[in-house]
Structure 1
Amino acid sequence: MTTVRQQNLLQRKEKILAMAETLLLDKHQDITLSELANELDIAKGTIYKHFKSKNQLYLELIILNEQRLFEISKKYNNDIKAYVSQYMLYNMLNSNRTILLHVIEERLTNNERKLNDLFKELYHIREQRILEIKDIFAAYLKESNSIMSIRDYLSYIWTVTYGASLLLNSTHYQKSIGSRERLIKLYVNQALMTPDNISSHHDQHTSG
């Protein structure tokens, strides 16, 4: 049973994370804990009561984002088209967040050694998300006569999603994009195209 003090601490931590995400997305780049403290009108030391470093704060933001994706997989775990569509829309409609969090995760993975427990938590949630949708993807690939593995197909969807997010977030390309809605729909349809199937793979080999 949580005490009132524990509830207050949890609420304050959630408030710090929410403001950190807002600031990060508004600035389109790194933030400082001083900026964060000023926005929240609290002492910087208060932030350190919840997060030992800015990197820990960032990694907890990435975990929070992964938990949202996990909720999508739980909600749409019986409909592959709905899942792929919702997963991609979540990322593409917030392309700035998708890119920033991915870049930060890459940086932390390469440089941060003190946050192993948080990395384990992140990878566990990610694994659970994949397990949640594994069956519908297995059925879809079998129905499509596909030789792709589930992991490869999920990687392909992520590649299309991230590439689309880069384009949608680019100031240069935004000027030449006609309809963002049409482009987003095109990317979702592209990801849902029948994966490489046995018959077409076989035909390529026999004709070669």
Structure 2
Amino acid sequence: MDRQAQFRAREALIFQVAEQLLLENGEAGMTLDALAAELDLAKGTLYKHFQSKDELYMLLIIRNERMLLEMIKDTDKAFPEHLAFFMLHHLHHPERTVLFHQIEERLSTTGVGIQHLFSELYQVRKQRLRLIIRMTERYLESIESKMPVRDYLASIWSLTHGAAAILNSSFYQRYLGSRDTLRVAYIDQALALPKQTHAVAQFA
């Protein structure tokens, strides 16, 4: 394995372990000292891959977004499959969804020297959104729904992130039944939304 391949392999492992530590311990418990110890690396080696903990957080968020982008490029899957994957990606790991959102919001106002990473993040999201809009337009046409694409996508996003917040809530844990049943119910609800629009509009 050449040096570049070794560098990329080490970086992938760093990101994997960093995300694991972050999800297990939260921001306060995810220190670079702990990360270096877990990886059995010198702390200075970490700085060859990122310049600060804030930069590491942004790289983790971008990594997550790139994975979602690659999945949406799978043209063999129908819209319901893509929707289910997107929702389950968030609902199987609600702590990641909630924490990444909180970190991104904080860094958008307090982060220093990471604006180029926000630009990269937004560019990845724009690419994904363009693909999603085209796919959603075709799906709504196929089921003859009059629901606007923007409204449908906003509804899916709201439903998914609201569900992640509930699944991640320490208070609501005692009131939840089967998590698997609940996840399926959320997906079914999202798929049913464009078919219910006409009936709901009559009461608006």
Q: Same fold (TM over 0.5)?
A: yes
Matches within 5 A, 1:45-124: 45-75=44-74, 79-124=78-123
Matches within 5 A, 1:95-174: 95-142=94-141, 143-148=143-148, 150-174=149-173
Q: Which amino acid aligns with 1:145?
A: S
SS of residue matched to 2:109: helix
Q: 2-side partners of 1:84 and 1:192: how far apart?
A: 8
Contact kept in structure 1, 2:152 and 2:193, CA below 8 Å: no
Match of 2:12 among 11, 14, 29: 14
Q: 2-side partners of 1:78 and 1:138: how far apart?
A: 15
Q: 1-side partners of 2:139 and 2:80: how far apart?
A: 10
Shift of 1:137: 0.6
Shift of 1:184: 0.8
Contact kept in structure 2, 1:66 and 1:126, CA below 8 Å: yes
Q: 2-side partners of 1:131 and 1:114: how far apart?
A: 28
The ranges of structure 1 where at least 4 consecutive aligned residues each deviate by more than 6 angstroms after the TM superposition are: none
CA distances 1:12-56 after superposition (whole Å, capped 9, x unpaired)? 211111110110111134411111111111121111121111111
Matches within 5 A, 1:190-205: 190-195=189-194, 197=197, 201=201, 203-204=202-203
Shift of 1:109: 1.3
Shift of 1:151: 3.1
Shift of 1:128: 1.3
Q: Which runs of 5+ in 1 are unaligned?
A: none
Shift of 1:204: 4.4
Number of aligned residue pairs: 201
Contact kept in structure 1, 2:95 and 2:164, CA below 8 Å: yes
Cα distance change of structure 1 residues 29 and 5 upon mapping to structure 2, 3 Å threshold: same
Moved more, 128-137 or 14-23: 128-137
Q: 2-side partners of 1:34 and 1:176: how far apart?
A: 38
What is the aligned partner in structure 2 of residue 32 from structure 1?
31
Normalising by structure 1, report the TM-score: 0.87
Cα distance change of structure 1 residues 170 and 76 upon mapping to structure 2, 3 Å threshold: farther
CA distances 1:122-181 after superposition (whole Å, capped 9, x unpaired)? 111111112222222112334443242x33322221111111111112222222211111
Normalising by structure 2, report the TM-score: 0.89
Cα distance change of structure 1 residues 37 and 126 upon mapping to structure 2, 3 Å threshold: same
Output the aligned Cα RMSD: 2.1
Percent of matched pairs sharing the same residue: 40
Contact kept in structure 1, 2:97 and 2:161, CA below 8 Å: yes
Q: Which runs of 5+ in 2 are unaligned?
A: none
Contact kept in structure 1, 2:91 and 2:183, CA below 8 Å: yes
Shift of 1:192: 1.4
Q: 1-side partners of 2:154 and 2:93: how far apart?
A: 19
Shift of 1:71: 2.0
